[in-house]
Amino acid sequence: MKPSAPSTPRSSSASAPASASGSAFRPASTAASRAQQTLADPRWAEVQARHAAADGRYVYAVRSTGVFCRPSCSSRLAKPENVSFFDTAAQAQAAGYRACKRCQPEAAAKPGHAALMAQLCHWIATAEEEPRLADLAERAGMSPFHLQRVFKAEVGVSPKAYAKAQRRQRLQTALGDAQEAPRVIDAIFDAGFASTAQLYRDSQAVLGMTPRQYRKGGAAQQIRFGVAECSLGPILVAATAQGICAILLGDDADALVQDLQQRFPQAQLAGGDADFERWMAQVIGFVDEPTRGLALPLDVRGTAFQQQVWQALRMIPVGSTVSYSELARKLGMPQASRAVAGACAANAIAVAIPCHRVVRNDGGISGYRWGVDRKRALLQHEAELVPTAQRVAQHA
């Protein structure tokens, strides 16, 4: 049975301090007066906005339901004439209201979005099975739609993409520890995949190879590579059957080969054939003249967040630059500029994924995996190429 609401709740908005004679101010008796009182209270705007920062400062009660809530509660917004404010949950309970089961206002103040999303990330990372969006939303006290938006803004990817990345990380760890998971099938199920078919269907996207090849450090996977000279110095180009997996720049050719070997310690590194040599010529030509584009497939490997950043980098036009903060805002995560910088630094496919086009907020040239001088040379060269390319396009 639905409990009846208190007839005359006392609250910080519906009552006033006693007068000098000791008589108390009587609450407004009409709905219109109560609504006017609520609308004039600045706390009402916070409740309408479901302002999480206001949690812990006060609670609001709803006369028609007999329930009191946090300001950020995701329940249906009450009519202003039915709302009263209390400084504490204890005051609301003393007035006869009961706590909302959804937002649990009598508990300690909810953490901010960042802390709340961190808790959800921990739950996803430690859950044996991937939590449903509805379950995550219920735990967060939000609607699924609202949670999806908040999670992506704070974490950088959707809950599903984050869960997928966690499964990949667990699988990589399990495959790398033969004592913990001696069989590949054990590692697959320990990582949270529902079936072997699910993983093997997506193994190229998850690991870049089959699970058994990954366990053996890339064994049986052939990587063709070659080292040559370009306008920026020594360049190494490597490719799997799926596409270009590395474009490395540097000052020493041997160091570039060692870098590739460390990435795939058990892979079969082989010199390029005639087809690969044509690929390599295209890459070198692209580095020297990026306006021509690179019509070759890429074998891009990274976390869901890294791949999102790298895809955004490929959308930056030749001759243009953006700051780390601007790139973070374009991705819908304005506070993730440091994480964006980290993803840029992890890029192993130089120029084709143009992380060199990201600069500091003041336009200055910041760190670059292959050297600041090389980054400066790339940007200057592209700036010189753009007007020429534009004139050719106009002439055509």
What is the mean pLDDT of the segment spanning 298-313?
A: 83
Task: Tell me the two tokens of residue 242.
Answer: 């799926």
Beta bridge partners of 224: 239, 270
> CA–CA separation, 24 vs 14, rounded Å?
11
Catalytic residue among 73, 100, 103, 355: 355
Least confident of 14-23, 94-103, 147-156, 229-238: 14-23
Helices in the chain by DSSP H: which ranges?
31-39, 42-48, 89-94, 113-126, 133-140, 144-155, 159-176, 184-190, 196-206, 211-215, 253-263, 274-288, 304-313, 324-330, 337-345, 372-395
CATH class of 222-292: alpha beta
In a 10 Å sphere around its CB, with 0-12 CB exposed, 13-18 middle and 19+ buried, how is residue 129 labelled?
Answer: exposed
Specify the length of the chain in residues.
396
- The CATH H-level superfamily of 113-211 is Homeodomain-like (1.10.10.60)
Q: For residue 225, what are the contacts with CB-CB under 8 A and spacing of at least 6?
A: 236, 237, 238, 239, 246, 257, 260, 269, 270, 271, 272
What is the mean pLDDT of the segment spanning 107-134?
A: 74
Mapped onto helix, strand or coil, the DSSP state of residue 156 is: coil
Least confident of 156-160, 268-272, 312-316, 364-368: 156-160
CATH class of 1-109: alpha beta
Backbone torsions φ then ψ of 246, nearest 5 degrees? -160, 135
Give the pLDDT band of residue 299 (cuts 50, 70, 90): confident
Give the pLDDT band of residue 111 (cuts 50, 70, 90): low
Nearest to 50 by CA among 124, 110, 129, 139: 110
> CA–CA separation, 375 vs 356, rounded Å?
6
Give the pLDDT band of residue 349 (cuts 50, 70, 90): very high
Catalytic residue among 69, 73, 245, 344: 69
Give the pLDDT band of residue 303 (cuts 50, 70, 90): confident
Beta bridge partners of 270: 224
Q: Who wins on pLDDT, 367 or 216? A: 367
pTM score: 0.52
Pairing between β-strand 233-239 and β-strand 83-86 as defined by DSSP bridges: unpaired
> CA–CA separation, 111 vs 118, rounded Å?
10
The domain defined by 304-395 carries CATH number 3.30.2030.30 = no
> CA–CA separation, 223 vs 241, rounded Å?
8
What is the mean pLDDT of the segment spanning 254-276?
A: 84
User: Is 355 a known active-site residue?
Assistant: yes
- Domain boundaries along the sequence of the chain: 1-109, 113-211, 222-292, 304-395
Q: For residue 196, what are the contacts with CB-CB under 8 A and spacing of at least 6?
A: 185, 188
State the CB neighbour count (10 A cutoff) for residue 331. 21
Residue 16 · residue 33 · CB < 8 Å:
no
**Tens digits of residue pLDDT in 73-86:** 888 889 999 999 99
Buried b (16+ CB within 10 A) or exposed e, 53-65: ebbeebbbbbbeb
Residue 227 · residue 254 · CB < 8 Å:
no
3-state helix, strand, coil in the chain (%, to 5): 45, 10, 40
- Asked whether the domain spanning 304-395 has the same topology as the one spanning 113-211, the reply is yes
Residue 150 has a pLDDT of 82
User: Is 69 a known active-site residue?
Assistant: yes
State the CB neighbour count (10 A cutoff) for residue 6. 15
Beta bridge partners of 83: 62
Pairing between β-strand 67-69 and β-strand 98-99 as defined by DSSP bridges: parallel
Residue 16 · residue 28 · CB < 8 Å:
no
Give the pLDDT band of residue 149 (cuts 50, 70, 90): confident
Mapped onto helix, strand or coil, the DSSP state of residue 268 is: strand
